[in-house]
Structure 1
Amino acid sequence: MAGFNNVHRYMLTQTLVGLGMSAGVIGAVIILVDFVEQSRDIGTRVEINAMELVGLTVLKSPALLETTLPFIFLFGVLTALFRLNRRSELVVMRASGMSAWRILSAPMILALLVGIFSALVLNPLGAAGNAAFEARRDALMNVRRDPNAAEPVWLRETNVNGFTVIAATSLVEGDRVLQNPAFLYYAVDEDGVPALDRRIDAREATLQDGFWEVADAIERTPNTPSVELGLITLPTGINRQALFERSRSPEGVSFWDLPTLIVSASEAGLATERYQLRLHTLLAMPLTLLAATLIAAAATMRLQRLGGAAGFALAGGLTGFVMFFLQELLGSIGAAGALPPLTAAWAAPAITALLALTYIASTEDG
């Protein structure tokens, strides 16, 4: 048991060294690129010193790190195992009777743990950092967002007899008041055909807990004169978060807020595919990092004396990029609603991990 623990500790140490080297190189490159981008975007418009630009880049660094984490694991594990292979340490381990699975267990467990950490901790930090970055950038560039600026609002809510479409010219006063709203009530017959049942126009509607407080309401129904209702209340299942999140980017939402956001957006009749895809992508992060680790292992476990180790390592790196491209492609299809979010987020890492496991099993265990 002591030898088992020592091997795991040694492999964990070597993997951490490789990940540190990979994170250092990749992190330096992306931070440098982002620094140059901020210099061009902000530095050419306002007076700002280098330290302030560095501060802006630091605010975005958690989100950038989260995005590049699969590549950090891919090249980090590649580096660690390639170094062990070059020093013939893998040969010694295999000669002592250790299986490939025992050698790789520490990197694989580390990938799963870091994937969980990324979803639960790193993603919320990235979302908060992005929000702080946008606020700081707006302050530097003297951007003033007019809360009363016209921004059309469209909401859809189901009810007992059909559904309701809510249209308004703008959303103001802390995302609770609709200006010039129109409530269009549609009834659906047995064949599923909707028909306009009535329409209520108003000067404004304020969202309260479970109902709209509608001012200066006028009701119109087909083939009947309009009726002035004055101040009325209309029941609703829409909450404040649904209004606030209606145009928010999924990448700017914390992992912990996504489930509630999906429910509120669904209740408001908004499309939830992008939010569901983001949630499943974060949930799949442990599997994604595990797939990257297995790709690196499949590319570097070939013994150095058999030759072609560098070529296999290069092939592993290219395979990692193929997985990333496939994941992005499926994500785009899923965001458009043409593919279930569960499939779009999990398919690429699952297929890649299975292929890598199959290759390792066939070459190492026969």
Structure 2
Amino acid sequence: MILDRYFARRFMQSFLVIGGIFLTLMILIDLVEQARRFNSENLSFGKLLHLTLLNTPAAINEMLPLLVILATIALFIGMARSSELVVTRAIGRSGIRALFAPVTLALIIGAMAVALLNPISAATSEEYWRLSGAYKNQDNSALSITREGVWLRQGSINGQSVIHARGTTASDALELTRVTIITFSPDGKPTQQIIADKARLSSDSWVLSNAKIWSLADDVNPEGAAEVHEQIEIPTTLTRQRILDTLSQQGLISIYDLPQLIRDLKEAGFSTKQYEVWLQVELARPLFLMAMVMIGAAFTMRHVRFGGTGIAVLSAVLLGFAIYFVRNFAQILGENGQLPILVAAWAPPFAAILLSLGLLLHAEDG
């Protein structure tokens, strides 16, 4: 137990030091990037730093696998140079048993990343995009999906339009059904209401079918001045890509909100595969970090007198990147429906654990 606590303390020291170095570099690099991006807006240093700090939790969340594998490499390289691994084996503790503390800490870090860092990064990322859009005076178009259907908001210099649809006939959100559109003036007063059977998104407009238009001006009788159109076009700044990008921004959604969002998407007629895969990938994160520890240890738990330390470190990092790539590739296959959701999310970390365990057993037997 005392030895496990020692290994745990050494691992956390390596993790915090490496994490601090990467965090400092990320903040400096992102600060320069924010200054370049908002150069024409002449933002103050405080606002640029605020945007940078809002970006930081998401960046840390993405870099956790790299931080864990580098911390593992630093831990065991240091212990090998000081012959602590030799002493550990001399008292009857196998190399695999020595991994108990680092692996346990990796699982704890992964669980905390899912339970705490994920919702924090989702909230800060959403605030970052809200502020960046406000600073650039961009159109604040938005999309929301609830039990009541699909809600869209689009803005222009003439005011805002809110679009509500009870459903969709296409998984890519290009055609909405049972549509209601309310247009507001720049001062927030409703000016027009439209109800249509369908709304299809074209290149620069919504094409409405069987639409009825009411004017909501103060001096007009809405029903008396109502117009019925078999087909009419309403200008829009929304595009197919912007809607799809909004639907695919899993990083802006807390893991606690994903189950409800998946249910709402299903009820609205949208595809939910990407969110279901994303949810399972996040739940599998502790196992993935555990695999990173085992991979780092498999190449570095040997005495430095054998040489080849640089090659071992490079091999561990490259294998870690390869497994990270395989996990992302499996996630894409799962989102496209080419792999079952559970296989796409859980197979890569389990395969990485088995691979690293085989390498560790081979090294121990050797």
Change (3 A) 1:341 1:302: same
Matching residue of 1:300: 300
CA distance in 2, matches of 1:336, 1:275: 11
Which letter does structure 2 place at the counterpart of 1:98? R
Instruction: Select the residue among 132, 138, 142 that pairs with 2:137.
Output: 142
Q: 1:101 to 1:132 in 2, by over 3 A?
A: same
8 Å Cα contact 2:248-2:274 kept in structure 1 = no
Cα distance in 2 for residues equivalent to 1:315 and 1:333: 27
Q: Deviations over 1:8-33 (max 9, x none)?
A: 11101110111112212222232222
Q: Answer whether contact 1:294 1:357 (CA < 8 A) is retained.
A: yes
Unmatched runs of 5 consecutive residues or more in structure 1: 158-163, 185-198, 205-215, 221-242
Secondary structure of the 1:45 match is helix
For normalisation by structure 1, the TM-score amounts to: 0.74
Match of 1:55 among 50, 70, 75: 50
**What code does the residue aligned with 2:263 have?**
V
| Superposition map of 1:17-36 within 5 A | 17-36=13-32
- Structure 2 match to 1:16: 12
- Corresponding residue for residue 275 of structure 2: 275
2:170 pairs with 1:155: no
Change (3 A) 1:170 1:273: farther
Using a 3 Å threshold, how does the CA distance of structure 1 residues 33 and 21 change in structure 2: closer, same or farther?
A: same
Which among 170, 188, 196 is matched to residue 181 of structure 1? 196
| Alignment deviations for residues 94-131 of structure 1 (CA, whole Å, 9 cap, x no partner) | 11110123211000000111111101110000011011
Go from structure 1 to structure 2 and tell me whether the alpha carbon gap of 1:154 and 1:45 turns closer, same or farther (over 3 Å shift).
farther
Structure 1 position 7 matched with structure 2 position 3: yes
Residues 315/270 of structure 1: CA separation in 2 closer, same or farther (3 Å cut): same
Mapped partners of 1:347, 1:304: distance in 2: 34
- SS, match of residue 181 in structure 1: strand
Relative to structure 1, the CA distance from residue 154 to residue 8 in structure 2 (aligned partners, 3 Å threshold; closer, same or farther) is same
Task: Give the superposition deviation at 1:284.
Answer: 0.9
Question: RMSD in angstroms over aligned alpha carbons?
Answer: 3.3
**How is 1:220-259 mapped onto 2 (pairs within 5 angstroms)?**
247=247, 249-259=249-259
8 A contact 1:303–1:309 mirrored in 2: no
Aligned-pair CA distance for 1:282: 0.6
Structure 2 unaligned blocks of 5 or more: 141-154, 170-174, 185-191, 200-208, 215-225, 231-242
- 1:103 matched to 2:115? The reply is no
Listed one character per residue, the Cα deviations across residues 141-161 of structure 1 (whole Å, up to 9, x for unaligned) are 33453273487969348xxxx
Moved over 6 A (4+): 150-154
**TM-score, normalised with respect to structure 2:** 0.74
Q: Counterpart of 2:239?
A: none
| Distance change in 2, residues 1:262/1:49 (3 Å) | same
- Aligned position for 1:361: 361
Q: Secondary structure at the match of 1:326?
A: helix
Query: What SS class does the counterpart of residue 180 from structure 1 fall into?
Result: strand
1:309-365 Cα shifts (integer Å, max 9, x gaps): 332121001111111111222222222332233222222222111100111123215
Change (3 A) 1:179 1:334: farther
Letter in 1 for 2:108: L
User: Percent sequence identity over matched residues?
Assistant: 30
Q: Is the 8 A contact 2:196 2:212 kept in 1?
A: yes
Provide the secondary structure at the position in 1 that maps to 2:337. Answer: coil
Q: Which residue of 1 aligns with 2:202?
A: none
Letter in 1 for 2:318: L
Q: 1:178 to 1:251 in 2, by over 3 A?
A: farther
